[in-house]
Structure 1
Amino acid sequence: MASSLTKDSASTPGSEKTFFGHPRGLATLFLTEMWERFSYYGMRALLPLYLIAPGGLGMSPATATAIYSVYLSLVYLLAMPGGWFGDRVWGPRKTVAVAGAIIMLGHLTLALPSEGTFFAGLGLVALGSGLLKANISTMVGQLYDGPDDPRRDGGFTLFYVGINLGAFAAPLIIGTVGENVNWHLGFALAALGMALGLAQFLIGTRHLSPASSFVPKPLSAAEKASTLRKGLIWLIVAVVVYGGLVASGTYTLNWALVPITLAGLIIPVMVLARIKRDKELTSAEQSKVSGYIWFFVAAALFWMIYDQGGSTLAIFGESSTNTVILGFDFPVSWYQSVNPVIVMALAPVVAWIWLALNRRGKEPSTVVKFASGLFLIGVSFFVFLIPLTMAGDGAKVAAWWMVAIYFVQTVGELCLSPVGLSITTKMAPVKYGSQMMGVWFLAVTAGDCTTGLLSLAGVDLNKTGIVGLQAALAVFAGIALWMYRKRVKELMGTVN
């Protein structure tokens, strides 16, 4: 899964060390993120299944995949303005509190048995997640005495454990209730999870750094007026356009999905082009931006396939896998717990391997790690072709095929995702130090929007030909990146 947004911040260390040797405020943020991820991944595990279920919205797999992909892309697309809002308007602490309330309201809206309110609920959860994602990790950084504090990396590691604990438990609890009892009760449990996270965040705010309450770069009066005016103009345009479509009876779901999908593809290109054209950048920074584009494209392709683990693979699991092991019939949503448990098991192992190779002077370069991640995500879909072919005549395949696919994908994630966060901070021009973390998440947006666009175009992503094509594309791209590694390293300059 994509890691949470991190960025360096001026910080004030906590006065106590009561959470595994770390400032006490880390416990507050750890639990907040754990419960937020519990609510998010629990809802996400149910989403594609609810969309296609006869007792749910009864949609086609293609439409369900499109909605799922657009929803994920929105979460990451909104992370950049979410970070801007924390920096310029409310400050991280207040923004996270408001975000938690919006997420809780979104899940409660999803729990209402109405198709109209369902999509409003998705929008609220996406908005709240975007606001929270950028700011909660900033507050983790603020607990430490600057980027050189020796406890800092360990603090973020513990924080990442909280993410995966929530992601692991959510499908087991929310998925079981949603599938076996009532879909909307499952969504309500997600709201309860966020409520618990918000409550303990508000109780524990006294342990956070005072810096989390300050607005780093507040908007001037003129900027506030300009921002409000532009926002109102766009709101009026949207109301007029979509109000007219509804009034004329021509509105369909695609009128919402297609613009969002196209925006998710266009905005990342525009942002990168704007940074690349900035004449204030030095020649070295320009070179690094050119090198970063290679990583951005590779990441977009990676997430395009990886995030289908919750849509294409989940739908295949629902229709074509045998969910009985040793006489126990488990809910399909439980497959979504495989990734986080593998992450928690393998992350320390992979980190140890990199350190061991580094001591011997044999640690792979960033480019090679990226190429490996891209190659492995392609291999995972080649593995997917085997059960997909076996199930072609309507047969049910063993659950272990799904586990094998998720295992290969997770190893690929550990090669690419943490490295991507690190290389983004290293290659960011000074002028765009904070914004580049948002750019990294736009790679997720671009990948998910590509999946959404294919689904909206009527492409069946569960067909062997399409799966094979995506697998071959990723493997070929991974090999190409490895072949051009020297050229990319030249563009990276002094960054390794």
Structure 2
Amino acid sequence: MDDAAGPATRAEHGTRGDGPVRGAKMPRWYVTLFASDAMERFGFYGLQAILVLYAAAPAERGGLGLAMTDAAALFGAWIGLMFMLSLVGGWVGDRWLGNRTALFAGSAVNVAGYLLLSIPAGWTAAVALPLLAIGGAVYKPNHQAMINRMFGGSRSREAGISLMYVASQISALLAPLIAGYLGERVSWHLAFLTIALVLLATTIQLRLTAGQFGGVGTTAIRPLDTAERRATVRRLVLSCLAIVVVLAGLAIAGLLNATVAIGAIGLLSVVTPIVCYVRLRGDPALGPDDRRRLTFFLFVYLGSALFWMIVAHAASLLNLFARDHVDLDVLGFVLPASWLQAATPLFILLLAPVIASVLPRWGGRNNVGTKFSAGLFLVGSGFLVMSVATSLVTDGGDKISPWWMVVVYLTHACGEVIIAAVTISAAADVLPAGFLGRTLGMLWLFAGLGGGIGSGVVRLNTVMPEPLYYSLLGSVAILCGLAFWAGRRALTRGLS
């Protein structure tokens, strides 16, 4: 999801605004941001590919030794926390550090997180994963802000952002292949160290190329005044003290464990978007029509949360299923289970141009409801396929063909291209321009809501048969898709 920071003045950019597509040579600042995003995404998708496998691996094999349900819930809780903190990360760049400075800080925090994961000690993961959530939450919104500020009103901005999206999919394709092989076949900690070195390279790059940005993002656009700074420090200190007190109380009571921590983060990622949505809707600067559109857009937010909750299963339960129940022997070479995570970005790279050419003409006037119904129907159908696949697994240890998983990931890829495009596009027209950042930021929060709910939902997999679990989730997605189709005209009127 790409957050628009709004147009900037030509004076801020100098001659850089014409971007990478119209000229024969890419501007140096664009090359820097392009490479930085590709390497940061390599870290994110590498972690996504192996986190649940590392968490579920026994301690004697270098893993965390978590129960399968905790390992599956861990990814949803982690990504929910990162998305939840993204609004704060954007605020850090806008009001405190400046976007470019925050970009560098987020990258540096990511390096520290991956270095901690590379240390073969279980306690380091408890520190590293929150650090990686903070680093990602600070890095991503400020990277998006820098792209928009450097392009300004340039006609090349949309093409430049699209090109970066392609780069992120290439990283998503390569990261599972490299990190997955190192983690599953050599050492989990070597995989994390490799990611740390890649992130260290982009951190050094950002530091050495600071002059390319001409001072843009060095300081906050609207810096905190003295009173705001004091209030912020006070809230931060009080929040940290509250967290320490709660953790100490849980430790004394003997309740401080992975299950409790994952559950607490999941609960927080559910409460936060609800509170932020209510506060946004109650903003006195909004008029009756604005609130009406935002009320109807809540259905889009919730549908998006459902979609991302289901897609997040790829890095949790589906990854574990591939490890245990899929025949990964291809011509005598046994594929690492994490390599199947590369299927979705590969399909996105292949299909995105086709879908992009069709999408603008699809759905007519009622395009939001129509396209959303298609996206949910696709991801729901994929889980119905998964239900059939799990029913074929026998107690005798027979394994199924990887093509079952490939079909599931194909539906995820098609649904992702549709859902991501329609939500970002529709969000731009819900509220006045001054609220665009917050409207788009809510998409991050509701994606986090999906992760938070998913961290609890995956536990149902242990109390019901797997075919029933996947068929229920798939049916819910399809029914919600049908609801969007039935209400497409009402949604169009509500958003107009």
Q: TM-score, normalised by structure 2?
A: 0.93
Residues 328-407 of structure 1 correspond to what in structure 2 (within 5 A)? 328-355=333-360, 357=361, 362=364, 365-393=367-395, 394-407=397-410
Instruction: Pick the aligned partner of 2:27 from 19, 23, 28.
Output: 23
- Structure-2 residue corresponding to 1:7: 5
Residues 35-114 of structure 1 correspond to what in structure 2 (within 5 A)? 35-54=39-58, 55=61, 56-114=63-121
Write the distance in 1 (CA, Å) between the matches of 2:193 and 2:277.
39
- Does residue 270 of structure 1 match 2:261? no
SS at match of 2:428: helix
Write the distance in 2 (CA, Å) between the matches of 1:462 and 1:345.
35
- Structure-1 residue corresponding to 2:323: 318
Q: Which amino acid aligns with 2:15?
A: S
- Structure-2 residue corresponding to 1:484: 487
- Structure-1 residue corresponding to 2:411: 408
Residues 125-140 of structure 1 correspond to what in structure 2 (within 5 A)? 125-140=132-147
Task: Name the % identity.
Answer: 29
CA deviation after TM superposition for structure 1 residue 238, in Å: 1.7
Q: Which amino acid aligns with 2:382?
A: S
Q: Which amino acid aligns with 1:111?
A: S
CA deviation after TM superposition for structure 1 residue 267, in Å: 1.0
- Structure-1 residue corresponding to 2:217: 212
Instruction: Give yes or no for contact 1:87–1:218 (8 Å, CA) kept in 2.
Output: yes
In structure 2, the CA distance between the partners of 1:304 and 1:137, relative to structure 1 (3 Å rule), is same
- Structure-1 residue corresponding to 2:441: 438
Instruction: Pick the aligned partner of 1:299 from 301, 304, 326.
Output: 304
- Structure-2 residue corresponding to 1:288: 293
Cα distance per residue 1:224-243 (max 9 Å; x no partner): 11111111112112212212
CA deviation after TM superposition for structure 1 residue 112, in Å: 0.8
CA deviation after TM superposition for structure 1 residue 255, in Å: 3.2
SS at match of 1:150: coil
CA deviation after TM superposition for structure 1 residue 150, in Å: 1.6
CA deviation after TM superposition for structure 1 residue 162, in Å: 1.9
Q: Which amino acid aligns with 1:417?
A: A
Write the distance in 2 (CA, Å) between the matches of 1:293 and 1:457.
27
Write the distance in 2 (CA, Å) between the matches of 1:480 and 1:19.
42
Write the distance in 1 (CA, Å) between the matches of 2:50 and 2:19.
36
Cα distance per residue 1:74-133 (max 9 Å; x no partner): 111111100011000011100010111100000000011111111211111111000001
- Does residue 246 of structure 1 match 2:251? yes
Q: Which amino acid aligns with 1:46?
A: I
Write the distance in 2 (CA, Å) between the matches of 1:415 and 1:75.
23
Instruction: Pick the aligned partner of 2:36 from 13, 32, 50.
Output: 32
Instruction: Pick the aligned partner of 2:468 from 461, 465, 468.
Output: 465
SS at match of 1:438: helix
Cα distance per residue 1:336-392 (max 9 Å; x no partner): 11111111111111111235x37xx95861221111111111011011112111114
Worse overlay, 201-210 or 371-380: 201-210
Instruction: Give yes or no for contact 1:23–1:143 (8 Å, CA) kept in 2.
Output: no
Instruction: Give yes or no for contact 2:19–2:30 (8 Å, CA) kept in 1.
Output: no
Worse overlay, 174-183 or 389-398: 389-398
Instruction: Give yes or no for contact 1:62–1:461 (8 Å, CA) kept in 2.
Output: no
Write the distance in 1 (CA, Å) between the matches of 2:267 and 2:364.
42
Q: How much is the aligned-residue C-alpha RMSD, in angstroms?
A: 2.0
Instruction: Pick the aligned partner of 2:430 from 418, 427, 441.
Output: 427
Task: Give 5+ residue unaligned stretches, structure 2.
Answer: none
In structure 2, the CA distance between the partners of 1:461 and 1:233, relative to structure 1 (3 Å rule), is farther
Instruction: Give yes or no for contact 2:369–2:487 (8 Å, CA) kept in 1.
Output: no
Residues 193-212 of structure 1 correspond to what in structure 2 (within 5 A)? 193-208=198-213, 210-212=215-217
Task: Give 5+ residue unaligned stretches, structure 1.
Answer: none
SS at match of 2:398: coil
CA deviation after TM superposition for structure 1 residue 254, in Å: 3.1
Number of equivalences? 486
Q: Which amino acid aligns with 2:142?
A: N
Worse overlay, 241-250 or 41-50: 241-250
Cα distance per residue 1:233-278 (max 9 Å; x no partner): 1211221221233234342223322221111111111111122233
SS at match of 1:365: helix
Write the distance in 2 (CA, Å) between the matches of 1:112 and 1:401.
36
CA deviation after TM superposition for structure 1 residue 456, in Å: 5.4
Instruction: Give yes or no for contact 1:461–1:467 (8 Å, CA) kept in 2.
Output: no
Instruction: Give yes or no for contact 1:312–1:461 (8 Å, CA) kept in 2.
Output: no
- Structure-2 residue corresponding to 1:150: 155
CA deviation after TM superposition for structure 1 residue 431, in Å: 4.5
Write the distance in 2 (CA, Å) between the matches of 1:256 and 1:52.
16
CA deviation after TM superposition for structure 1 residue 214, in Å: 3.2
Worse overlay, 339-348 or 235-244: 235-244
Write the distance in 1 (CA, Å) between the matches of 2:118 and 2:136.
18
Q: Which amino acid aligns with 2:454?
A: T
Write the distance in 1 (CA, Å) between the matches of 2:483 and 2:221.
42
Q: Which amino acid aligns with 1:343?
A: I
- Does residue 190 of structure 1 match 2:188? no
Instruction: Pick the aligned partner of 1:229 from 209, 221, 234.
Output: 234
Q: Which amino acid aligns with 1:310?
A: A
Write the distance in 1 (CA, Å) between the matches of 2:186 and 2:491.
52
In structure 2, the CA distance between the partners of 1:461 and 1:219, relative to structure 1 (3 Å rule), is farther
Write the distance in 1 (CA, Å) between the matches of 2:19 and 2:450.
40
CA deviation after TM superposition for structure 1 residue 48, in Å: 0.5
CA deviation after TM superposition for structure 1 residue 209, in Å: 5.2
